[in-house]
Amino acid sequence: MGSILVVEDEDEIRVMFQSVLQAAGYHVDSVRTATAARACLQMRGYDLVLTDLRLGPGGDGLTIAAAAAERGVAALIVTGNAPSLSNDDRRRHEVLEKPLQIDDLLEAVGRRIGASSSD
Count the alpha carbons within 13 Å of 67 in the hemisphere toward its beta carbon. Answer: 24
Burial label for 56, CB within 10 Å (0-12, 13-18, 19+), is exposed
Asked whether 62 and 77 are in contact (CB, 8 A), the reply is: yes
Read off the DSSP letter of residue 46.
-
Strands 48-52, 94-97: parallel, antiparallel or unpaired by DSSP?
A: unpaired
Domains and CATH numbers, the chain: 1-24+34-51+66-104 (3.40.50.2300)
Whole-structure pTM value: 0.89
Taking only the tens place, the pLDDT of each residue in 56-97 is 788 898 999 999 999 999 999 988 776 666 667 666 777 888
d(CA 98, CA 79): 6
Taking only the tens place, the pLDDT of each residue in 24-49 is 999 999 999 999 999 999 999 999 99
